[in-house]
Structure 1
Amino acid sequence: MSNTNWKLRSLIGGLGFAVLAMPALAAEQAWVTKSNGNAKLLLNVVAKYSPESATELGVDGFDEQITDMSRDLFDATNKDVRAVIAQLQQRLKSETDPKVRQDLEILIKAGQDQLRSAALKRKYLMPYVDVGQLLFGVVRATLDPRIPKERQQLIVARLEKYAGLTKGYRPITELANERLQERLKANRNLLGPYKGEVEQALNDGPTLLKGMKDLLAKSDVKGWEPAYAALEKQLTAYDAQVRAQVLPKARADHRLPAELYADNLHQFGVDIAPQELVAKALTSFAEIRNQMNITAGLIARERKLPNPDYRAVMKELKKQQIPADQVMPLYAERLGQIEAAVRQQGIVSLPSRKAVIRLATPAENARQPAPHMNPPRLIGNTGEYGEFVLTTGMPPDASGKSLVFDDFTHQAASWTLTAHEARPGHELQFAKMLEAGVSTARAVFAFNSVNVEGWALYAEAEMQPYEPLDGQLFALQARLQRAARAFLDPMVNLGEITPEGVKSFLMDEVGLSEGMATQEMQRYIFRSPGQATSYFYGYQRLMETRQAAEVALRQKFNRQAFNDFVLAQGLVPPALLRKAVMQEFVPAQR
């Protein structure tokens, strides 16, 4: 919401989950208590400059506050972040506990990364804000069914401030435009947003507005109507202003300056050069494709299909689309089958409670088109878990064309998607952090896509041998897609392939639907350039660590013990995880 661009921004995007019974959380260890005291210094800065973000993380006391967009916050934010870094560095000098020292290093790095990213965005980019998407995210997070009713009611105070109905506040749409014009006046050479991004935002605006209204209407919140009515007019006028003033300044070339793209990779956790990443991913793509042809050949022989090529076999299997009313029962059934295999094979410890899976709303499809897991609050959690949200398509594009996915609503794909988003993937990953009592530094400020997505892709690989052949083929397709991401994302941002080339490659060689290929291409070029590479890279680093442990322990290696240990560490970077495994897990197993 503000100029602040914390690494945890990818985590913040709306929390939505159903009520579940929760076992007692682990008692907080002494070192965690001390570490959390250090993390509070950075959390205070988040709360000061982006109270909405602090609320979504679980920090109490900011439910009615909104980001101050009445002034440029760049210098003030940087000053406060530098002061916190100096305090943390001073504490590091005298700290003797190794875990607290590690967490201090995580916190210092998070602050330094924030300063670097903010400086680069300030140097290069026009501060265009998609206000409608931001407000939908705040409403959706506040009206989460788990949020107490009295706290949900406070959304009215926020909406009134956003709309400028509260004394001392002006409409957020006016303020966003003022900050934009202010920066353009200071530097006329700033790069505008990518044209396709602006067009998609304008196209999604009505869907998000309706989604916001639907959420409010279905809630028990009272008195929201006047503020919403004002915001509806303001957002409609803002979109018209964007169309008239921003769209003409939008850049036709999607590519970011090299410094910015490299920083994106860094923020997402990729610590190698784009060219090295491309080389690794191209090799893996070829190897996975060979495995897919072997598996597809077995399926073709079993089902008497005329063409054993993996693309032809996937096309046949995709015809087994599940009726809309059977999608959720199918995924519930898959979850039960996967959990049974996890327990039988001793893969990882599972809780006895059920995981939550639900279909996305049209507004959620617009905001985040790919299936995803909504994470729970990581601070002050009192019983919330994450939920697997299954998206069903994209809103119509500017021409009115609707692109529907067929990638997740057929029998074979349900296996690996459930393993990734639910169990033993993301849902279990976040639940274990809460139940183990992981420190705020490891749960929040170490949060990046490599640390998070590496585990989920690893979870897919753990389950693949216990799935039927058709499930195994689409598990391999998912891995093929992650390898493709890791070379297509850098290549399109380095100008080595066009966006249209990306889309056609994903449809022809990976077997994605046009809807899925379109949102993937948009992800690489404007939704989140660089993020898609993190799955492949995180998986590679985690597999390296596991193999190192297996080499060290040989017959003494215990898969379940290893996986439980990894989850108990929280979201530590790959280098720290490798160190913990080799210095703690391996000696303990010996």
Structure 2
Amino acid sequence: MFSPKKKICSLIGALSLAAVALPAFAAEPAWVAKSNANARLLLNVIAKYSPEDASQYGIDGLDEQIVDLSHDQYAAQMKDLRTAIAELEKRRKGETDPKVLQDLDILVTRAQDQMRSITLNRKYFMPFTDATAMIYGVVQATLDPRIPKARQQALLVRLEKYAGMAKGYRPVTELANERLQERLKANKNLLGPYKGEVEQDINNGPALIAGMKELLAKSELKGWEPVFAKLEQQLTAYNEQIKTQILPRARSDHRLPPEIYADNLHNFGVDITPQEMMAKALTSFAEIRNQMNITAGLIARERGLPKADYLSVMAELKKAQIPADQVMPLYTERLAQIESAVREQHIVTLPTRKAVIRLASAAENAQQPAPHMNPPRLIGNTGEYGEFVLTTGMAPDASGKSLTFDDFTHQAGTWSLTAHEARPGHELQFAKMLESGVSTARALFAFNSVNVEGWALYAEAEMQPYEPLDGQLFALQARMQRAARAFLDPMVNLGQITPERVKSFLMEDVGLSEGMATQEMQRYTFRAPGQATSYFYGYQRLMETRQAAEVALGKKFNRQAFNDFVLAQGLVPPALLRKAVMEEFVPAQAKL
């Protein structure tokens, strides 16, 4: 799973950085080098307006720079994007290489999308910056143990700038408040963030501050204590200010303006209407539920369970929770079993190196409650790989109640999650993309949830037939959850269902824990409205492409060759992937 983190300004969805010294990847092809030179135009815009993002993506020379909140940068950023688009379009007129032309289209489209999103958000919303989450993200990414120590040293410079302790800098908390007041003075009717979001941000604050301190204490950085003490004081005061200034202005209605929600769906890669999405997903949900009852009946008969419906059988299986000290050994074992099945069944080509799985910290639980993949940097990568982060619960809510998960800490629930986040899902997806020499346009600027999550859900489906019955039941539950997302997310954002009913439906009809159902509801309403639809839609588009290839090739269709080809394309949109499969893969396979 990927869920965009809050950023002040960024051209693309945020990614986490992971780096480790490993053998360098193959030299990039000539067309990739040419395409990357074009991508540099947009990378320069990221570097200028969001240097923290840029350094995490792998752009050198920015590790000490921070976002400039000293003045409103809307006009300047829009001008720079227009200039970049004009130059990209100029280069497109003289380009003949079809792959470079495709990448130019990706770059132009991404820049245009960003201009639209910036304009819409400025039109409707006050600029609300969760400074604690922003700075925690920078600290976490920089102090990742696989980041070179030399690069980690730059963190102290950034922290001094955030705290206003560096010459020429003022505290980022003061600047964020100034930009807020400036926009409210210009337009007092701007909408505030959703109340539930603000309350959760306030509640997350202490955990994130403690998480920063823990990361710094474990690092080899010297002299961080004074600057952190200053930052802690500022962030604590800023969070109190959020209570008095932002919370009273927060929206009680979670629903976004229709233009904003439509823009969200577009940016996540969804190119059909919410109504079409809901119709497809409701039908799929019912079909999956039927399959789950069949599988649950087989398990009940095999184990002598008193009830054979899918909810009762899942509840019975979830009772056998794994002791905390056995969770990671079990996931390591599960990954080995999945990899063995992948190789035996010739599903996709796997690397020989091991994948990385680890438990999340309390701060990571607060920032990103659901299990997720921290992908590697996608620019200047010299052998870094991603990591599967297993979360265990949520930060306390407004009442102080803490919610844990029981969804992933039982035997049957480990199969699909490992296939999705590790192999043959996200971990393999990013590794293959880098090892194949994919361009920056395809690795970074074509990145959206449909492209990424479609593959990971497809990976779950590829592995389901080779799992035990209880694993298959929870594989179906995971697919049911994605179908539910694809109608619940639009429904709650269109006012057809309440957040409370979303939560109860996920618990009562999908079988999620209260913690998991709560973070799901939050995802639809304020963490990333629209993003949850991308799993179901991306999976459907990828399955359509695969079936078209099977029909065209008949007995010549080779599953492993198809899956390897798909991964080698990078994160191209579904339409471009379908074009590549039908015009390149199918003809090549037909000749064999």
> Superposition pairs for residues 196-215 of structure 1, below 5 Å?
196-215=196-215
> Superposition pairs for residues 339-358 of structure 1, below 5 Å?
339-358=339-358
> Superposition pairs for residues 297-312 of structure 1, below 5 Å?
297-312=297-312
Report runs of 4+ in structure 1 exceeding 3 Å deviation.
19-22
8 Å CA contact retained: 1:460, 1:475: yes
Partner of 1:582: 582
**How far 1:397 moved relative to its partner?**
1.2
**How far 1:338 moved relative to its partner?**
0.2
The answer to whether the aligner puts 1:456 opposite 2:456 as a matched pair is yes
**How far 1:3 moved relative to its partner?**
4.9
**How far 1:15 moved relative to its partner?**
2.3
CA distance in 1, matches of 2:7, 2:388: 28
CA distance in 1, matches of 2:66, 2:225: 19
* CA deviation profile, 1:47-103 (whole Å, cap 9, x unmatched): 011110000000000000001000111110000000000000011111000000000
8 Å CA contact retained: 1:21, 1:353: no
> Superposition pairs for residues 180-579 of structure 1, below 5 Å?
180-579=180-579
**How far 1:4 moved relative to its partner?**
2.8
CA distance in 2, matches of 1:148, 1:333: 30
Letter in 2 for 1:15: L
Letter in 1 for 2:76: A
Partner of 2:40: 40
8 Å CA contact retained: 2:18, 2:141: yes
CA distance in 1, matches of 2:7, 2:544: 38
CA distance in 1, matches of 2:97, 2:457: 33
Letter in 2 for 1:131: A
The answer to whether the aligner puts 1:133 opposite 2:133 as a matched pair is yes
Partner of 2:29: 29
* CA deviation profile, 1:510-563 (whole Å, cap 9, x unmatched): 000000000000000000000000000000000000000000001000000000
Residues paired across the two proteins, number: 585
CA distance in 2, matches of 1:537, 1:289: 18
CA distance in 1, matches of 2:544, 2:338: 25
Q: Which moved more, 1:138-147 or 1:463-472?
A: 138-147
Partner of 1:62: 62
SS in 1 for 2:373: strand
8 Å CA contact retained: 1:458, 1:542: yes
Partner of 1:174: 174
Letter in 1 for 2:533: T
TM-score, normalized by length of structure 1?
0.98
8 Å CA contact retained: 2:173, 2:238: yes
Query: Structure 1 unaligned runs (5+)?
Result: none
Letter in 1 for 2:110: A
CA distance in 1, matches of 2:180, 2:318: 46
Query: Structure 2 unaligned runs (5+)?
Result: 1-5
**How far 1:402 moved relative to its partner?**
1.1
8 Å CA contact retained: 1:408, 1:414: yes
* CA deviation profile, 1:235-257 (whole Å, cap 9, x unmatched): 01101111001100001000000
CA distance in 2, matches of 1:556, 1:384: 35
* CA deviation profile, 1:312-355 (whole Å, cap 9, x unmatched): 00000001110000000000000000000000000000000000
8 Å CA contact retained: 2:8, 2:129: no
8 Å CA contact retained: 1:2, 1:73: no
**How far 1:577 moved relative to its partner?**
0.1
Residue number among 15, 18, 21 corresponding to 2:17 in the alignment: 15
**How far 1:206 moved relative to its partner?**
0.3
CA distance in 2, matches of 1:303, 1:312: 13
Aligned-CA RMSD value: 0.9
* CA deviation profile, 1:486-514 (whole Å, cap 9, x unmatched): 00000000000000000000000000000
CA distance in 2, matches of 1:226, 1:398: 31
Letter in 2 for 1:266: H
Residues 1:77 and 1:523: Cα distance change in structure 2 (over 3 Å): same
8 Å CA contact retained: 1:110, 1:446: yes
Partner of 2:3: none
**How far 1:21 moved relative to its partner?**
3.6
Partner of 1:4: 9
8 Å CA contact retained: 2:35, 2:100: yes
CA distance in 2, matches of 1:487, 1:544: 20
* CA deviation profile, 1:387-423 (whole Å, cap 9, x unmatched): 0000000011111111110000000010000000000
CA distance in 1, matches of 2:510, 2:277: 19
The answer to whether the aligner puts 1:159 opposite 2:164 as a matched pair is no
CA distance in 1, matches of 2:7, 2:452: 24
**How far 1:222 moved relative to its partner?**
1.1
Letter in 2 for 1:4: C
CA distance in 1, matches of 2:21, 2:157: 29
What's the % identity of the aligned pairs? 77
8 Å CA contact retained: 2:14, 2:53: no
8 Å CA contact retained: 1:374, 1:389: yes
Partner of 2:77: 77
* CA deviation profile, 1:425-482 (whole Å, cap 9, x unmatched): 0000000011101000000000000000000000000000000000000000000000
SS in 1 for 2:340: helix
TM-score, normalized by length of structure 2?
0.98
